[in-house]
Structure 1
Amino acid sequence: MAKQVLFLLRQANYTSLKSAIGNLFLAVIKFFAFTFTGSLAMQAEAIHSFNDGCAQAAVFVGSVFASRKPTSSFPNGFGRLSNLIVLFVAIFMAYNAEHMIQKSFHVLLAPAASPAAGFFWNIVVLVSAFVVDGFVLYQAMKDIGKEVESPARGWELVKLSLRSYHLATPETRLVFWEDLLATGAIFIAVAGITAAHLGVAPWGDSLAGLIIGVLLFGIAVNVAWENIKGLIGYTAPEEVVEEIAEAIMEVEGVEDLYELDVVQEGAFLDVDGTIELPETMSVGEAEDVKDEIERRLKKIYPNIHNVTLGIHEDDELSRWGSREYVRLRRKAPACKLVKVAVSTRKK
């Protein structure tokens, strides 16, 4: 039992755990700053950090349980458990955001002067939050680079993250977007608090709280939708389909791909397709080809859960080649999607 627990913990997503710890720490600091200054922007920031911390803690817990092997009672494994946990957290996030929007809107109609002494305290807390959120965001970018197998660093890493985030694991995507928006929200909070303190816009603090609340609600809806898709199952990105198709076509004996569907379900991929083989090939040889395909695919994408392949005799039509997936389109291996830690480590 102890060995199994240690094994599951080793496979968990520690990016989300580090982000959860950082955000919950920031939530406590921001809450004390809000209590001292009464700043609505700071209250919104505290709720933002608290929501992010809860969501990422849920992702970490989900990644632990999702690493369990399939059982007789649950033959499809536990990959969707992470999606289910985070979906409930997203509902909680939406509730907090809606409450923040309402409060900020009411105060916006009758803004109150913020304590002068609290301005500098707010700025210090927000600068500290920027350092922590910026560090976590950079770690998430590094994880994206690692998962897409890119050596990019510096500004190139930033561009790579914005361009290829959809090819990273669901957990890393969540951390990346939440901390990217959290970093942006800090600038909004600083602008609102400063405008209110200088008297340029007495309603700046409550307006900043309202904007951050709307951002929070948007994040909650996006997180909920991403995890609903994970529970239902959705088509993998084109790059992933291309690489899987290419790997299948490179197996000796495969003449063409009659059809291919690659679906992401939870943290895993399901491959379902039909290959074209020479009509002279025996049943035993065809089974050997299918076994070789499955071996190669699971080597490329260790998180592939099922490979289901049908057989069709070669009709001499180049279906996949004509779509430039394989024969007419050769390129470097596509970025890897959802490489679950449990699959990439030796048992």
Structure 2
Amino acid sequence: MSATGSRRVIYAALAGNALIAVTKFVAASVTGSSAMLSEAVHSLVDTGNQGLLLYGLKRASRPADKSHPFGYGMELYFWAFVVAILIFGLGAGVSAYEGIMKLRDPHPVSNAYVNYIVLALALVFEGLAWLAAFRHFRSVKGQRGYLEAVRLSKDPTEFTVLFEDSAAILGLIVAFAGLVLAEVLDMPMLDGVASLLIGAILAVTAVYLARECKGLLTGEAASPRMVRELEAMIAATPQIIKQNELLTLHFGPSEILLNLSVDFADDLTSAEVEACVTALERQIKSRYPEIRRIFIEAQSMSESGLPIGDR
């Protein structure tokens, strides 16, 4: 799916979370619930996160220039990493703090029905946002499993919103259960326990997102399937005796750098080598338009510098 599809999902999540955050803050101030306040902060952080993802998409779409000859695509990875940090620092941190404060000074929640109404409405809105994010992710994952698709995805917008919405739904369920049990069992401390659990959910989500974004930010290769097909193309080129190296690097979700070191047949003229390189570049870009730049180095096996075991 195009970047437009990603933006549509993010806009939907941003609008929903902004409205939910305001409602939750009002409910938290009326009832004094720590779990509700944690959920309000959670929704506020998610709203800011969607804004950062949109900003990252805008920054990443800028064309290459002299200072960034390979473009700005990796800025999206940076802002997605910032999102993970905010979820951990603000979302999980504030939730944990509120939970600890409630455990130290447990007090009953007033007007509990307000919380129930707000949580029920939030669950509906979050569910709709989650469904939109899930459908988007399912449309781009192909035949791969969900966890494999997350691991191999080079576009953090495809899974970040889905993870945030999933954490939001779990948080709402925990908050609802904590409030009900606190009232039924007359144990106000359970409200604080629910806040701590919400913090734990956010912390786990943040760590997983940070791990996925770190790999993208530090430079990941193209998918193994793409690499295998590229190797097959090179092997099927009669003018090439041997492939020495094939290196790929993502500079953005849909921008890949390809660097090839190959050994051409010794009896080829310079004109024939040039024609082979041109034909190979056209073939590769026709099959994979996301490979924007290709560098092909003509080098013999003895000069490639590769260890014997890698040749």
TM-score tier, shorter chain, comes to 0.7 to 0.9
- Structure 1 gap ranges (5+): 1-8, 151-158, 316-322, 324-347
Q: Which residue of 2 aligns with 1:257?
A: 243
Query: Hey, what's the Cα distance between the residues in 1 that align with 2:282 and 2:136?
Result: 26
SS in 2 for 1:77: coil
> Residue in 2 aligned with 1:288?
275
The answer to whether structure 1 residue 213 and structure 2 residue 199 are counterparts is yes
Percent identical across equivalent pairs? 26
Offset of residue 41 of structure 1: 1.4
The equivalent of 2:60 in structure 1 is 66
Does 2:228 match 1:242? Answer: yes
Q: Where do residues 1-347 of structure 1 align in structure 2 (5 Å cutoff)?
A: 13-96=7-90, 97-115=92-110, 117-118=111-112, 120-149=113-142, 160-168=145-153, 169-199=155-185, 201-251=187-237, 253-254=239-240, 256-267=242-253, 268-312=255-299
C-alpha distance in 1 between matches for 2:234 and 2:276: 9
Q: TM-score, normalised by structure 1?
A: 0.74
CA distance change for structure 1 residues 249 and 61 in 2, over 3 Å: closer, same or farther? farther
TM-fit CA distance, 1:92: 3.6
Residue 83 of structure 1: how far off its partner (Å): 2.5
Q: Look up the match of 2:305.
A: none
Distance 1:312 1:122, change over 3 A: same
Distance across 1 between alignment mates of 2:184 and 2:160? 36
CA distance in 2, matches of 1:248, 1:123: 62
Post-superposition offset of 1:50 = 1.5
The letter for the 2-side match of 1:80 is: M
What one-letter code is carried by the residue in structure 1 that aligns with 2:160?
L
1:131-181 Cα distance to aligned partner (Å, 9 max, x none):
22222222222222332445xxxxxxxx94344233442111211211122
CA drift of 1:312 comes to 4.3
Find the residue that maps to 2:293 and give its secondary structure: strand
Alpha-carbon contact 1:16-1:175 (below 8 Å) kept: yes
Structure 1 residue 234 displacement after superposition: 2.4
> Per the alignment, in what secondary structure is the counterpart of residue 308 of structure 1?
strand
Q: Which whole-Å CA distance do the structure 2 matches of 1:50 and 1:69 have between them?
A: 32
**For 1:235, what is the secondary structure of its paired residue?**
coil
Partner-residue secondary structure (3-state), 2:297: strand
Matched residue pairs, number? 300
Where 2:125 maps in the other structure, the secondary structure is: helix
Q: Structure 2 length normalisation: TM-score?
A: 0.82
Aligned-residue offset at 1:101: 1.0
Q: After superposition, give the CA deviation of every residue in 1:213-244 in whole Å (9 maximum; x if it has no partner).
A: 12223333444444443332123443343344
Are 2:5 and 2:136, in contact at CA under 8 Å, matched by a contact in 1? no
Deviation at 1:38, TM superposition (A): 1.6
